[in-house]
Amino acid sequence: EIVLTQSPGTLSLSPGERATLSCRASQSVSSSYLAWYQQKPGQAPRLLIYASSNRATGIPDRFSGSGSGTDFTLTISRLEPEDFAVYYCQQYGSSPPMCTFGQGTKLEIK
């Protein structure tokens, strides 16, 4: 089973700053099957990025994803107040064909 490790656990930044969130896999992951989600308190998660770098419908272009193999990154170019939330990466494995989530990165206002 592939394990996803996100870092840092908590990231403290100010609005207007750039955020870089990391997701590292225990073995190689297909870029087609790596996604990022945002979750705000009391809400369901929302899809941000799929296939490592494709923005989901309605997601602002300040959100971008990159990476391949075992290292993936979510970047928020200029933080808006509504971006402070918890972010999860997720992958679909092929053998076994199961899904796993990273433990999450909390992005908080400094």
98 near other proteins, judged by CB under 8 A:
yes
Distance CA 62, CA 77 (A): 5
Kindly tell me which of 35 and 74 has the beta carbon lying closer to other proteins: 35
Q: 41-60: which residues touch other proteins (CB under 8 A)? A: 44-47, 50-51, 54, 56
CB 2 within 8 A of CB 27: yes
100 near other proteins, judged by CB under 8 A:
yes
Distance CA 9, CA 59 (A): 23
Q: 8-37: which residues touch other proteins (CB under 8 A)? A: 32-33, 35, 37
Q: Residue 24 belongs to what H/E stretch?
A: strand 19-29
**Shortest distance, position 95 Cβ to other proteins, whole Å:** 12
- Most distant CA pair in the chain, distance: 41
Distance CA 55, CA 58 (A): 8
Binding site for other proteins (CB under 8 A): 32-33, 35, 37, 39, 44-47, 50-51, 54, 56, 88, 90, 92, 96-104
